[in-house]
Structure 1
Amino acid sequence: MNNTRLAVELPGLSLKNPIMPASGSFGFGDGDITKTNDLNELGAIVLKTTTKDPKKGNLQPQIVVLQDGVLNSVGLTNPGVKNVVNEKIPTLRKHYSKLPIIASIAGESFEDYLFVAQHFAAPGLIDALELNVSCPNVAEGGMQFGVDPKVIQKLTAAVKEIIAVPLYVKLTPNVTDIVACARAAQEGGADGLTMINTLYGMRIDPVTKKTLVGNQMGGWSGPGILPLAIRMIYQVAHVVNIPIIGVGGISSALDVLEMYLAGASAVQIGSAQFKDPAACWHILSELESEMDKANVNNLQELSDQIKRKFRDERR
């Protein structure tokens, strides 16, 4: 595979290709899929979102895979930041010394976010930090932070002061004005954006009369949200000057190219892996072929071309 053709440069990240698993997909690089597929072939790994203290997650069932998507209410299950920093990441680095690592953090208060960020601030521990202000599965914290531009700006700035690595803010689609939220993150000092997270959804079984996930509501993802992700990325890419990592409904190499045309500079794969655990690798294997069909010579060149086009449109 021609790595130069697929290579992408982002703040703090030199990616051999644009494909990475979305936060939670591969845990901390210790999931079953990593036993049969090499993480080193991917552009980077995004770790499961980490919080100050260990979390057991929401009531079961936490994940329901349906024909048209995935409804999840996991609730940020994780072993807590001290375990992640002292055990999970060192183990991951030992096995994948050159793989870019993006940590993801969340909290129920400013103090929680800053506590977790401080633990990830050690030099050489991670390559970038993703600020999850958009998880719809936690009773407190995520949604409250992610829907208010003023709070997004303040939180982004506070975390940025603590860490030396680039900061990517993951935005929720559950807002009326995604552009205002994106601008707020940029004004707070974000080096990039990740968008979008899941939509707040719910399903009810007509026979049992019970909701399909134990927490009643959860995050809805899958191919059905791709048009929404494309629209929001397109809107935001026209007004910000920081790169966007596109996520939401990607299930093919063509979807990756569409994300680029909307304004993304790299992508994350999430729900596609519930039906195809090796989706990241399969999409990657098809990417150059689809680039040939679309007359795309180089992904970095495509990204730069789209950014120039957007700048011209703003004049």
Structure 2
Amino acid sequence: MKVSERLAVELPGLQLKNPIMPASGCFGFGDNRYAKLYDLNKLGALVIKSTTLKERVGNPAPQIAWAGQNVLNSVGLKNPGVKVILEEKLPALRTKYPKLPLIGSVAGATVSEYTEVARLLSTSGLVDALELNISCPNVHEGGMLFGTDPKIVAVLTRAVKDVSRIPVYVKLTPNVTDIVSVAEAVENAGADGLSMINTLLGMKIDVQTRQSVLGSLTGGLSGPGIKPIAIRMIHQVSHAVSLPIIGLGGVETAVDVIEMYLAGASAVAIGTAHFNNPTACADVVDALPQEMDKLGISSLSELISQVRSEH
């Protein structure tokens, strides 16, 4: 079997030649420093930075801080707004990479903002699927507030599905008591897939200044320290719903990717690893076949079927 066939994964709206993609925000709109290090056609897909209806300037500085091997971020969904993204950012990205699957990340402060951004992105012909960011812990309105109540999640998901012409993935927050009930609400509301998990709400205090190291006090914790939580939650959710899952949270290596698959994921996004290794996604793509050989895995699509049949 060819390497391309071994790594290929088919998800709603997405024909992935491999399962690896940068998490939302990491590669901007294909225009930041990470995105310029290699040919992005090497990726399975690209998730763009979260898009809001109007421009957002983000949270007060500092927006990023290290917490051991992990990172606290409080960027606050900084982006130029959907009009600029549709007129400038996405056309440039699509022109340069016409065959690369693109996932539009949607954020907002109200249901109407989510639905309008989703409608505009989904009808543009510039993205292949949507990811609803209902789980961002570093904004004071919208974001995680939508993702913690199953009833609200269902209303939002259904509203976006009603206006979207392309598949909709919902990004789940780990900052809940029962993530399974949220996932079930998303499935019942008609979502096509899930992304999980987003960052955990965290804080770090500088003992010299006695102040938070972040300008907005708290932020989203990501990095290798959250991977066991991600694995546990993906395992729980994959046993409860039939939706495909894009797994993320602390992934750094090809072995981490396979662990995500064994938990129930169907594709994998990489985020914080880029701080230490800017070519993390490409390196994992290259390393996957060898790790699969060691474990007797013939193809990822077969592994998905095996894991799901055991659930």
- 1:151 aligned partner: 152
How far apart, in 1, do the equivalents of 2:34 and 2:110 lie? 34
Question: What amino acid does structure 2 have at the position aligned with 1:202?
Answer: M
Question: What amino acid does structure 1 have at the position aligned with 2:128?
Answer: D
How far apart, in 2, do the equivalents of 1:224 and 1:127 lie? 31
Question: What amino acid does structure 2 have at the position aligned with 1:258?
Answer: E
- 1:198 aligned partner: 199
- 1:301 aligned partner: 302
- 1:225 aligned partner: 226
Q: Does 1:90 align with 2:97?
A: no
Whether the 8 Å CA contact 2:86–2:124 is kept in 1: the answer is no
How far apart, in 2, do the equivalents of 1:194 and 1:143 lie? 14
TM-score (norm 2): 0.98
Give 4+ residue runs of structure 1 displaced > 4 Å after superposition.
none
- 1:313 aligned partner: none
Question: What amino acid does structure 1 have at the position aligned with 2:190?
Answer: G
- 1:184 aligned partner: 185
Sequence identity of aligned pairs in percent?
57
- Greater CA drift, 62-71 or 224-233: 62-71
What is the CA distance between 1:118 and its match in structure 2? 1.6
How far apart, in 2, do the equivalents of 1:286 and 1:292 lie? 10
How far apart, in 2, do the equivalents of 1:186 and 1:86 lie? 32
Whether the 8 Å CA contact 1:108–1:140 is kept in 2: the answer is yes
What is the CA distance between 1:64 and its match in structure 2? 1.3
How far apart, in 2, do the equivalents of 1:222 and 1:307 lie? 27
How far apart, in 2, do the equivalents of 1:87 and 1:304 lie? 40
What is the CA distance between 1:296 and its match in structure 2? 0.7
Whether the 8 Å CA contact 2:45–2:100 is kept in 1: the answer is yes
What is the CA distance between 1:123 and its match in structure 2? 5.2
Whether the 8 Å CA contact 1:256–1:267 is kept in 2: the answer is yes
Question: What amino acid does structure 1 have at the position aligned with 2:100?
Answer: L
Whether the 8 Å CA contact 2:26–2:34 is kept in 1: the answer is no
Runs of at least 5 residues in structure 2 that lack an aligned partner in the other structure: none
Secondary structure in structure 2 of the residue aligned to 1:150: helix
Runs of at least 5 residues in structure 1 that lack an aligned partner in the other structure: 311-315
- 1:255-284 CA-to-partner distances (Å, cap 9, x unmatched) read 000000000000000010011111111111
Secondary structure in structure 2 of the residue aligned to 1:238: helix
- 1:137 aligned partner: 138
Secondary structure in structure 1 of the residue aligned to 2:240: coil
What is the CA distance between 1:294 and its match in structure 2? 1.0
- 1:201-258 CA-to-partner distances (Å, cap 9, x unmatched) read 0000111212111111000000000000000000000010110000000011000000
How far apart, in 1, do the equivalents of 2:66 and 2:210 lie? 18
Secondary structure in structure 2 of the residue aligned to 1:290: helix
Whether the 8 Å CA contact 2:56–2:78 is kept in 1: the answer is yes
What is the CA distance between 1:305 and its match in structure 2? 1.1
How far apart, in 2, do the equivalents of 1:121 and 1:165 lie? 6
How far apart, in 1, do the equivalents of 2:37 and 2:232 lie? 35
Q: How does 1:226-305 map to 2 (within 5 A)?
A: 226-305=227-306
Secondary structure in structure 1 of the residue aligned to 2:154: helix
What is the CA distance between 1:115 and its match in structure 2? 1.4
Change beyond 3 A, Cα 1:56–1:239: same
What is the CA distance between 1:188 and its match in structure 2? 0.8
Question: What amino acid does structure 1 have at the position aligned with 2:76?
Answer: G
How far apart, in 2, do the equivalents of 1:186 and 1:210 lie? 41
How far apart, in 1, do the equivalents of 2:207 and 2:33 lie? 34
Whether the 8 Å CA contact 1:169–1:185 is kept in 2: the answer is yes
Secondary structure in structure 1 of the residue aligned to 2:103: strand
How far apart, in 2, do the equivalents of 1:277 and 1:213 lie? 23
What is the CA distance between 1:189 and its match in structure 2? 0.5
CA-atom RMSD in angstroms: 0.9
